[in-house]
Structure 1
Amino acid sequence: MPIGIDEFDSRDPEDRDTNAERVVRFLVRNRDKAYKAAEIAEATEVSENSIHPVLNRLAERDLVRHREPYWAIGDLDAVREATTFASTAGFLDDELGPESRGEWLAAAREENEE
């Protein structure tokens, strides 16, 4: 589904939720129901090509449950912990700057050299 060029130009890539975040948010808000993957894709605007990998990754972390052909929110404690972790990581990135893999590797090399 195409969007207008004005909407395209006004979108800030930094403010965009991940597909996983949109799926979890949708399923939490509708935790009294289970949905087919295509229904979740449509409701969250996640492409149908991406929805199954997203759902499978979330299922590995117990954030969603699956009984063919339906998907539902998973363990709410796991969802709460994941949300808290993501929020904390985002706060730390904002305050201290994002982590640098290169800096981590350099520090590990220095530690091994000592």
Structure 2
Amino acid sequence: MPISAERFEDIPEDEDGRSPGTNAHEILSFLEANPEQAFTRSEIASETSVTEGSVGPTLVRLRERGRVDHRGRYWRISDHVRSIEAASNHAGQVAASHEDESMAYDEWHEYAVDPRDERE
């Protein structure tokens, strides 16, 4: 059944497949758990609940979004995703190291806010 253009605009985007239960979520979770390895489509299918016929199209969409890298027959989590995770881990470590210290709001804000967010 078709929907109106207005209703279409109200549908939230899926945030790069991070919605639990989606093929993208299953594949990304598996690849993120194995960041130092690359896998073929059939290996990804055998390690996830995603059917082999759905793995390829899902990987192509994830590559277009910059979430995975592809070379030859192999796929892996992208370096971009890995660097974001490393930055998040570092931020968590910095926050934990300051946990016992009192911190003024301005000082905390300096650690917590991405300068790109200030432009919006």
The two structures have a TM-score, normalised by structure 2, of 0.50
Determine whether 1:50 maps to 2:54.
Answer: yes
Report runs of 4+ in structure 1 exceeding 6 Å deviation: 77-80
In terms of Rg, which structure is larger?
2
What is the rounded CA distance, in whole Å, between the counterparts of 1:20 and 1:78 in structure 2?
19
Identity of aligned residues (%): 39
**Structure 1, unaligned runs of 5 or more:** 1-14, 81-114
What is the rounded CA distance, in whole Å, between the counterparts of 1:51 and 1:38 in structure 2?
8
Aligned CA RMSD, in angstroms, stands at 2.1
Relative to structure 1, is the Cα distance of residues 66 and 45 closer, same or farther in structure 2, using a 3 angstrom cutoff?
same
Which has more helix, going by share of residues?
A: 1
What is the rounded CA distance, in whole Å, between the counterparts of 2:39 and 2:29 in structure 1?
14
**Structure 2, unaligned runs of 5 or more:** 1-18, 86-120
Q: Number of residues paired by the alignment?
A: 66
Alignment of 1:31-110 (within 5 A): 31-74=35-78, 75-76=80-81
The two structures have a TM-score, normalised by structure 1, of 0.53
Q: 1:18-75 deviations in whole A, cap 9, x for unaligned?
A: 0000100100000000000100011012111111000000000010000011000012
Relative to structure 1, is the Cα distance of residues 77 and 35 closer, same or farther in structure 2, using a 3 angstrom cutoff?
closer
